[in-house]
Structure 1
């Protein structure tokens, strides 16, 4: 039976592919839920492209479709795609900056390349434009001023984005993607081919530890920057409450970061985000 609040299944798809942000939107203030669902669905559509195509050129074609759809929204053109129509409504309602949305699209080219980032600053820039933009735009939907939250959004995007990157190491390796800095691989005496083959032993654990340190620094900085943020706006940053559970999963006894996806218990996810919504904390 069709959900009258979700006639095109956008919320259902989001719940299946990004439960972190689905619950973030469900627990957000009622007036902002549809806008957040639209933003998060857009992000998920972009993130899933590499897994839906057989070669990078086809993925770039899909990214270009989104660029064209975004341009058409300025003229009121209809794309006919439910996720794009929902995004267009959110842009109109919340005056979302198209430059940030376009940056989200452009950032995803790195997912298609899958050859690794040159260095850590390049990885940071990617996460700022992808995950950081989602936090900033979500905050705007909840009444914040995106430009005033740029630093917090970027550091939040870095922390949460690194958690997701580490969680997905086995999935990316199986798909032939290396999504870590090549300079860091070299420092850890690793070759990209070893990651793709699920090999590397203790050197992989060293790589994960180095990225984990970067993650923890970003998480502490984001929390400090958000300490005086208005409570309703902090709801956009609720996924930060899942970063430590992801780290716990990565550090679980017997966990192999290249063989096991470091996911978290659905009940833990639900409780963390529910408590965040009730207490307004990150």
Structure 2
């Protein structure tokens, strides 16, 4: 169903920007795992909870970089491979996305989560009035909006669907999961395209499908973690089709019916990737960096296939050490 692994031996001849070998080594220095330098997880949550966080403006960029590196490592890697003029804005957008994504897991009551979301909605309005609150992610996001004239609708749409997701229930069907993925992940890619200066209908179509694939894969990848918390968010229609109950997932069952559910969901993510690539001949080359996350999605889908669609297989819990190289090569080839 899925494509095989890319060839292991490829000659790397170009660097991130204008230089070559030295830039490659610089990339390795950034992507190798290292401790986050500014704060521990608890402190980051405290900052997130505060609407009056104060950080020296010159450290705002570093704050976002460290937050994304610690909480969205793959997004961090793809941001490093963007053109230099879009890199900082990409990190700001991904830091914003991290803040919203973590609200659901860090609040004890829905009411508190709604208050957090209201804070972010108000912050977006203030950003577009040139009155951003003095908070590091918001300040960097304001800079990105001013630099690239980002569309407010996409930012508000991400918040709106993250807010709906606070209801903490399983998706009723695959279409509902795709809709959520479109409104969150695809909206983020639309913003990245704006950072790259791309306005193209074919690029938008590709972004829609890549975002849907991303959301579906994220739902699959999070299943072991959510199951340990006695939460199951996989589409109910597919679970019912195969006779799989939520309790089966909570128990970490490896029965065929569970693997059949995972197969159907993973297959739909693969279909979206194929649709996205069907536009590749019409998508401007400048848009390709916005779609680098396809490498991450492809990697997971290949690994879950090798695990015979056992979403709980231990091999799926480990980070692929070759991912940085695979991302770099795809970036160098200017394809997605």
TM-score, normalised on structure 1?
0.91
RMSD: 2.4
Which residue is equivalent to 1:198?
Answer: 252
Which residue is equivalent to 1:171?
Answer: 225
**Superposition deviation, residue 202 in structure 1:** 1.7
Moved more, 238-247 or 262-271: 262-271
Q: What secondary structure, in the 3-state scheme, does the structure 2 residue paired with 1:115 have?
A: coil
Which digits, 9 at most, give the CA deviation of each residue in 1:137-161, with x for residues without a partner? Answer: 1111111116653321110111122
8 Å CA contact 1:168, 1:261 repeated in 2? no
**Superposition deviation, residue 216 in structure 1:** 1.1
8 Å CA contact 1:249, 1:263 repeated in 2? no
- Between the aligned partners of 1:146 and 1:68, the Cα distance in structure 2 is 30
Residue 239, structure 1, aligned to residue 293, structure 2: yes
Moved more, 157-166 or 190-199: 190-199
Which runs of no fewer than 5 residues in structure 1 stay unpaired? none
Which residue is equivalent to 2:78?
Answer: 24
8 Å CA contact 1:190, 1:200 repeated in 2? no
**Equivalent residue runs for 1:13-52 within 5 Å:** 13-52=67-106
**Superposition deviation, residue 96 in structure 1:** 1.1
Residue 160, structure 1, aligned to residue 214, structure 2: yes
Residue 224, structure 1, aligned to residue 268, structure 2: no
Which of 114, 118, 133 aligns to 1:64? It is: 118
Which residue is equivalent to 1:131?
Answer: 185
Residue 272, structure 1, aligned to residue 323, structure 2: no
Which residue is equivalent to 1:122?
Answer: 176
Q: Which structure has greater helix proportion?
A: 1
Q: What secondary structure, in the 3-state scheme, does the structure 1 residue paired with 2:268 have?
A: helix
**Superposition deviation, residue 114 in structure 1:** 2.5
Residue 214, structure 1, aligned to residue 261, structure 2: no
8 Å CA contact 2:173, 2:236 repeated in 1? yes
Which digits, 9 at most, give the CA deviation of each residue in 1:203-260, with x for residues without a partner? Answer: 1101100001101110100011233322221101101012221012223448741464
TM-score, normalised on structure 2?
0.77
Which runs of no fewer than 5 residues in structure 2 stay unpaired? 1-36, 39-57
Q: What secondary structure, in the 3-state scheme, does the structure 2 residue paired with 1:208 have?
A: helix
Which residue is equivalent to 1:92?
Answer: 146
Residue 262, structure 1, aligned to residue 316, structure 2: yes
8 Å CA contact 1:67, 1:102 repeated in 2? yes
Higher Rg: 2
8 Å CA contact 2:203, 2:287 repeated in 1? no
- Between the aligned partners of 1:173 and 1:113, the Cα distance in structure 2 is 17
* Equivalent residue pairs, number: 282
For residues 255 and 50 of structure 1, do their structure 2 counterparts lie closer, same or farther at Cα, with a shift above 3 Å needed?
same
**Superposition deviation, residue 8 in structure 1:** 4.6
8 Å CA contact 1:120, 1:184 repeated in 2? yes
**Superposition deviation, residue 136 in structure 1:** 1.2
Which residue is equivalent to 2:197?
Answer: 143
